[in-house]
Chain A
């Protein structure tokens, strides 16, 4: 395995064989190839198994509250736009508890990358249905089967105005790494939903299922077509993988904020109070 500046040599609390290991590997390789300085990288998360990822990488590690990784990351990026900010979490974290923030972070469009490790189940709390669990799946809290319609996060992201929407797979590190590289380089909010198995609690969506029931988009696919991208998000078994949709970047949340309008990227901490302005307002 290639050594990177992000490698962590401590203990992991993920289950052996967890898809998160592969996602971490793809992310580290992407950052390595893009030569992102770990000291300028903030990996922010909420709570969940995937949300422990910041602890397993050498960079600025930020772990907040369940569901709140996106507002946290948005605040960090706006306070210092020189930082590379990535928000990572699972399907329950980002699409369930954080569902409202997911919609509005996309509308707001901070220049961050959002990685969602989607194993279609709650892992850390031991196997309850998540927003992406298929109907009928029996779990400890839905013993007669999940009755709610699963969320289609990619369709929702496109509808909310995301300018970069992709789906990767923990079963294919090289291709997922490439998607992550593009996402990190994309200006504005970029979603990379990464399908992965849960080896402990999701008996249906195994490594084998993941390899059989997904299919990478071929090179002729044009990600600039909104309608085609939306149609593509409706396909299941095989689930398409790759860059679904990409369009011209929109203005980002932070770049139109007053402190940065003049092109001065000084972080907020290094700025003095505007005492002259206050005095004028008191004149």
Chain B
């Protein structure tokens, strides 16, 4: 990777769960961002409530940053037993901070030096481990030579209710940390301030962007059964249900979740559910129900590694095939795959609109990495999200599944209780007015009507995001969250003969994307799974295979550095 020494600094925090370090991370992220730096933040964590060793990476830069880095400049090693994802990336440039009696031996065995933070002693003097978090935040402010009053407003807001003593102790904790940090760097901040940062930008993570997109699209019925990493979308709606005017319910299981959502959507609610792969599979029959009843529901599938429980809190992109084939029988559906934080907001809106317009289930594929990753983005505009479609009045003679004259398969959507006619719904193959039928000709016609919607859905599929030379001889193809690390690797490669293609929608494939696939260029698919699921889908849909696959499935996202190396090697192997 090109030398970022003067434009960026990475800080990694590694600590056991339950230490309360998240407060320090959130605070530091916020004051660094306010000071004018661009901050990228990404978390990885173990499936446990206490102990273990979780980490957060900050990339702090004078330029926008949107992908995971590998190298570590500053490491806060606060608990013993550093994991290999950390130790592998410690180098001579890494400055390691931690308590000598906690991690001194471990670091010296690795052949590195520790800067003794003496955090436990400092915190104890203030009244206990409770203050560690604020000391760490202070150290960071010191490293960047920000004022030692930087956190005062935050501290007052957060701790006022706990009394003056707590407020004062936290302020002292921050100042103690600040002094320590400032002493390390002398008078030179670890990174100069950027010239000017765009004031219209806001720090957002994937989870929040997705939820805000869904809210902008008017989602007002949100159900879940808790499952990492899908729960965040629901937590957001639960917290803000009153402002957003949403019905929220944590149901007894995912089967109930999807059936409630389908019921609500039949009655006109704009319904979204959220889950991960295991829970999603439990929803399959309900997704099929939405298919035959032509009910608009959106299912957020936050991918994690399987099979079964797999790696419960880790990341993977192995959900395309299960999403594509979820639900027995043949019916149309759309699969969105946001490629970054901004795309989460946009795809949530597109998913709700597609579900409503085509009256069919729509799935949004994200993953743990994308949801837990944040950076500064251009403030999203809720007005850019399509307005919800309104149901028609069920006039006398209305039939829910009337064959439309225009042949696009879309019947007018009415809701019960609005108009003079009944609005029926049936999971069987049905007549136009939704009653059971076994008429062979009608069955064929109804099935054709439903599947026929795919033709117009394909025309509205989101086109691929492309970067680089449109006539390139090499195409790097990805979908979902691999896009940003791949983009950074692509930019670092600096080759003019490559086109980077990122898909925000993986089904139905956009016509523009199919055209690109039909070109003679060599195609390298980059995915976060073990078998190249998207490459297989593209081959099935277009007849075009790929020339090489770059795959990863160890539960962690690619870093930009790692992808550059792997793309270079793949190009070499292909003689390109």
Contact of B256 among A71, A253, A279 (CB under 8 A): A71
- Given A52-B436, A61-B434, answer yes or no on A39-B262 (Cβ-Cβ < 8 Å): no
Of B248, B379, B382, B416, most buried by chain A (CB within 10 Å of CB) is B416
A-B interface contact total, Cβ < 8 Å: 209
Is A62 a contact of B424 with CB atoms below 8 Å? yes
B-binding residues in A (CB < 8 A): 13, 38-40, 42, 44, 47, 52, 55, 58-65, 68, 71-76, 78-80, 82-83, 100-101, 103-104, 108, 253-254, 257-259, 261, 267-275, 277-282
Contact of B267 among A104, A267, A275 (CB under 8 A): A267
Contacts of B259 in A (CB 8 A): 64-65, 68, 71-72, 75, 101
Cross-chain pairs A/B with CB under 8 angstroms, 8 sampled: A61-B424, A61-B425, A64-B293, A71-B255, A76-B267, A76-B416, A108-B249, A277-B244
**Complex Cα–Cα for A75 and B385 (A):** 25
Contacts of B217 in A (CB 8 A): 273
Is A282 a contact of B241 with CB atoms below 8 Å? no
**Complex Cα–Cα for A258 and B420 (A):** 29
**Complex Cα–Cα for A62 and B430 (A):** 12
Is B253 a contact of A273 with CB atoms below 8 Å? no
**Complex Cα–Cα for A277 and B240 (A):** 9
**Complex Cα–Cα for A75 and B383 (A):** 28
Is B436 a contact of A76 with CB atoms below 8 Å? no
Cβ distance B33 to chain A, nearest Cβ, rounded Å: 15
**Complex Cα–Cα for A270 and B267 (A):** 11
Q: Judge if B252 is at the interface, Cβ distance under 8 Å.
A: yes
5 more CB-based (< 8 A) A-B contacts, given A257-B247, A278-B216: A40-B417, A61-B435, A63-B436, A78-B247, A78-B269
Chain A residue at minimum C-beta to C-beta distance from B390 = A269
Cβ distance A188 to chain B, nearest Cβ, rounded Å: 16
Contacts of A39 in B (CB 8 A): 416-417, 419-422
A-binding residues in B (CB < 8 A): 202, 212, 215-218, 220-221, 223, 240-249, 251-253, 255-257, 259-271, 285-286, 289, 293, 379-380, 382-383, 385, 387-388, 390-391, 415-428, 434-436
Cβ distance A18 to chain B, nearest Cβ, rounded Å: 17
Is A76 a contact of B245 with CB atoms below 8 Å? no
- Given A273-B217, A278-B215, answer yes or no on A72-B245 (Cβ-Cβ < 8 Å): no
- Given A79-B247, A277-B215, answer yes or no on A268-B427 (Cβ-Cβ < 8 Å): no
Cβ distance B564 to chain A, nearest Cβ, rounded Å: 34
Is A79 a contact of B243 with CB atoms below 8 Å? no
- Given A55-B436, A64-B259, A65-B259, answer yes or no on A79-B268 (Cβ-Cβ < 8 Å): yes
Contacts of A76 in B (CB 8 A): 263-264, 266-267, 416
**Complex Cα–Cα for A274 and B426 (A):** 32
